[in-house]
Amino acid sequence: MNLDPNAIDHQKLARYAKALSHPIRIYVLKLLSQQACCYSGDLSEELPIAKSTLSQHLKELKDAGLIQGEIETPRIKYCTNKENWQEAQQLFKGLFDL
């Protein structure tokens, strides 16, 4: 039994931190946060990595809830999950304000 009321916030912060633990993911999130949405093909043109590698990075960000994808056959449109991205920013701010 966990009595720490902040345990859920700590778990969320760790999940977000893990998703942001690679420079490519930080770059992708920065790109997406500066525009409404972006197609995976556009991201692959922007980044000098294999499409399969980019796909894995997008999956990590999506699994953490920081981005969301919408299939528009034959492409996938990605954008930030604004609610979770704001939550992540607040959690990181709280960590660094200690």
Domains and CATH numbers, the chain: 13-96 (1.10.10.10)
Q: What is the pLDDT of residue 5?
A: 60
Q: What is the pLDDT of residue 98?
A: 65
Q: Rounded CA gap, 81 and 74, in Å? A: 22
Q: Does residue 74 have a pLDDT over 90?
A: no
Q: For the chain, what percentages of helix, strand and coil (3-state, to nearest 5) are there?
A: 60, 15, 25
- The enclosing H or E element of 18 equals helix 7-19
DSSP 34: T
Of 45, 47, 82, 40, the residue nearest 65 (C-alpha): 82
Q: Does residue 2 have a pLDDT over 90?
A: no
Q: What is the pLDDT of residue 82?
A: 93
Q: Which pLDDT band, with edges at 50, 70 and 90, does 83 fall under?
A: very high
- The whole-number average pLDDT for the span 63-87 is 93
> What global pTM score does this model have?
0.86
